[in-house]
């Protein structure tokens, strides 16, 4: 089969973004524990609040620090403790640090993109805050490999349909490569697009069962070159 187009995900497919969030979660849970709260409960409530804020506000960079602060407020009020403004600010700062850092590249990124960009029309479709995502692409020198870059508010069937339509792409000659079942794999499967799933660290928002087994799963990005 002749493959004409590949739509790549960015976070945790090309760059290790989850490592930054996991570090933030660790720092947050330790602060909460030192404040007399249970770490596991704090992290579970953080996920609950953050997912709610994603649905309300999308993937803006302000959302995560806000979610951290709101989680601290929730447990303070629940336990009859006075909210400490300095501690709340420190907790929110943990969230801001996620966006001040540039995540590490996944192994083999340059080799894979250099090779595939010579043969295929490459598109980058990523979720997140435009300023944050564009900075990740710029600093890591990834822009030159992609003919089109989309920073989306949602990654769903409608958004992928828009990309297909805008570039007049044939589903049979298009692949989606990503780490998320919810954002990459299932929308592609619904549309009949070829999909490659490369699992990585994930969190509660991304947890979803594949709609079918009609996809290729690999252990690393570098393995893509064995198939495409």
Q: 3-state secondary structure string, the chain?
A: CCCCEEEECCECCCECHHHHHHHHHHHHHHHHHHCCCCHHHHHHHHHHHHHHHHHHHCCCCCHHHHHHHHHHHHHHHHCCCCCCHHHHHHHHHHHHHHHHCCCCECCCHHHHHHHHHCCCEEEEEEECCHHHHHHHHHHCCCHHHCCEEEEECCCCHHHHHHHHHHCCCCHHHEEEEECCHHHHHHHHHHHCCEEEECCCCCCHHHCCCCCCCCCEECCCHHHHHHCC
Provide the pLDDT for residue 57.
87
| Mean of the per-residue pLDDT values of the chain | 95
Provide the pLDDT for residue 217.
98
Is pTM beyond 0.75? Reply is yes
Domains of the chain: 5-16+103-226 (3.40.50.1000), 18-100 (1.10.150.240)
For the stretch 15-74, pLDDT in tens is: 999 999 999 999 999 999 999 999 999 999 999 999 999 999 889 999 999 999 999 999
């Amino acid at each position: 089969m002749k493959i004409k187009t590949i739509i790549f995900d960015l976070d945790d497919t090309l760059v290790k973004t989850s490592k930054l969030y996991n570090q933030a979660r660790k720092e947050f849970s330790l602060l909460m524990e030192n404040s007399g709260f249970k770490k596991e409960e704090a992290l579970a409530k953080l996920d609950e609040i953050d997912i709610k804020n994603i649905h309300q506000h999308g993937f803006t960079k302000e959302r995560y620090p806000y979610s951290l602060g709101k989680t601290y407020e929730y447990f303070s009020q629940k336990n009859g403790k006075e909210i400490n403004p300095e501690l709340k600010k420190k907790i929110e700062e943990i969230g801001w640090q996620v966006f001040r850092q540039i995540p590490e590249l996944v192994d083999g990124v340059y080799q894979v993109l250099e090779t595939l960009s010579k043969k295929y029309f490459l598109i980058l479709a990523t979720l997140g805050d435009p300023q944050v995502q564009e900075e990740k692409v710029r600093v890591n020198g990834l822009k030159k490999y992609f003919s089109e870059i989309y920073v989306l508010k949602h990654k769903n069937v409608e958004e992928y349909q828009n990309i297909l339509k805008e570039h007049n792409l044939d589903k049979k000659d298009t692949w989606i490569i990503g780490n998320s079942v919810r954002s990459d794999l299932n929308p592609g499967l619904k549309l009949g697009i070829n999909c490659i799933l490369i699992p990585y660290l994930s969190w509660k928002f991304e947890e979803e069962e594949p709609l079918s087994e009609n996809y290729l799963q690999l252990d690393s990005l570098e393995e893509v070159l064995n198939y495409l």
